Amino acid sequence: MGGNAARAAEVLEELLALDDPGAAAAAAHFQASMSSDPAFMGKAMGLRAAVTGGSNDDITALLGDCFGLQGEALPRAVAALRAKYPG
């Protein structure tokens, strides 16, 4: 989102069915990972492939890695992605 953390959080709130604080934390996690981990872009790109052809376990793992999601946020986010992008 071009460094616009507020807009990134808005998109994640809608896309992953997160609440405001969860979406802000997810956007911050993503940005921090992009800045610090050279291999991170590959993980982030893998999320699209997982959503279109992977298992729920694949998506869950990548949501944790890419956005720091945990607990109850994970199944909600997977369900939101599956609803928006049925496989």
- Interatomic CA distance for residues 68 and 21, integer angstroms: 13
Residue 77 in this model has a pLDDT that exceeds 50: yes
What tens digit of pLDDT does each residue of 5-63 get?
Answer: 999 999 999 999 999 999 999 999 999 999 999 899 998 999 999 999 999 999 999 99
Residue 2 in this model has a pLDDT that exceeds 90: no
User: Are 30 and 66 contacting, i.e. CB atoms less than 8 angstroms apart?
Assistant: yes
Please name which of 2, 22, 15 lies closest in space to residue 77, comparing C-alpha atoms. 15
Residue 68 in this model has a pLDDT that exceeds 90: yes
* C-alpha separations of 46 from 7, 16, 51, 66 in Å: 22, 16, 9, 10
Q: Give the residue-averaged pLDDT of 57-79.
A: 97
